[in-house]
Structure 1
Amino acid sequence: MDYIQIDRTNYMELILHKFPAFRTQWAEHLAAWNLPLARPIAVDVTEFADFAVVTIGHGIDAEIDRLAEITELMLMQDDPVIDYAFRTLFLEQISLGTKRGGVAVDRFTHKLRPLGSYHWQALDLRVGIYPSGVSID
C-alpha cells in the first residue's frame, strides 16, 4: 500500500474511488443535508461506517480487504481530524453497527493491519464494550 497524503479536503474522493458501490449512498447522504451549515466530517465518516457494516456483513472478501486497507491508510495520515475520526468514530461505529446487526465483525478485524489492529484493541479497552468479542480478565 502506497502512502498517499490525505486530508479533510480529499479523503472522501479516495473512499469513493475504492468503493464505487458507496456512490449512491453518498449522493443520497449529500442530498439529505439541508442545514445552512457545513457538514461535519463526523457525519460523513458515520455514513461511510454504515456502508462498512453492510460490507462486512454481506460483502466479498476483496471488499473487506479494501475496507481494512482504507482504514489503515486513514490512520496513517498527518491530519489530526482524519486520524481521530477513523481511530475513534469509524471503528466504534463499526463495532456498534455489527453488534446491532448480528454481523461477524471478525471478517473485518482479522484483516486489519498493525495500526488498525492497535486502534481496534484500544477501542476494546477504552470503550469497555470489547468489540472483538474477547473478554479481558
Structure 2
Amino acid sequence: MTAARRRPPRLVFLVTAAERQIRRWIAGRGSAQTAASSGQAISAPAAGVLLHVANHPGATVGEVTAALQASPAGASGLLARMERADLVRRRTDPDDRRTVRLDLTPTGTAALDGVRAGLAELNDRLTDGFTADELATVARWLEHVTHTLR
C-alpha cells in the first residue's frame, strides 16, 4: 500500500471509545460493589475522589477538582452526592474558614478497598498480553497527549 493510501490510526476515536468502556466497566463494578451503608454505586469520578482523598487527607475541594480535571460545578455536585452517601465529610479549615477540606468517612474508607481491588483487576485485564516496553510506550504517548493538550 502506498503512503498516500495509508490511513493513520483513528487515535482520537480509539482513545475516546476506550475511555468510555473503562468508565462503563468501573460503573458496572461499582454497581456490584456498593457503598456499605448507602447502597449507592461508586462511579468512576467518585472512585477518583476516594483515591485522591485517601492519598491526600484533608485535601481542599479545589485540589480534588483539579486532580480530577473536573469543573467546579461538576465536582460540587459529585461531592454533595458523596457526602449524602456518607463517603466523604466536608469541614472548614480552622486556619481559613473560606477553605473547605475533605476527609474520608469510615464508609468511604471501606468503599476504597473495593475501588482498589477493582482497579487492580482492571489494570491486570488492560495490560494482559503486552510487554513492559509496549506498556511504557503507551504510557509515554498518553502522558504526551495530556501535556500537549493543556
Fold agreement, TM-score > 0.5:
no
More contact order relative to length (CA 8 Å, sep ≥ 6): 1
Higher percent of residues as strand? 2
Larger radius of gyration: 2
Alignment TM-score, normalising by the size of structure 2: 0.28
Alignment TM-score, normalising by the size of structure 1: 0.30
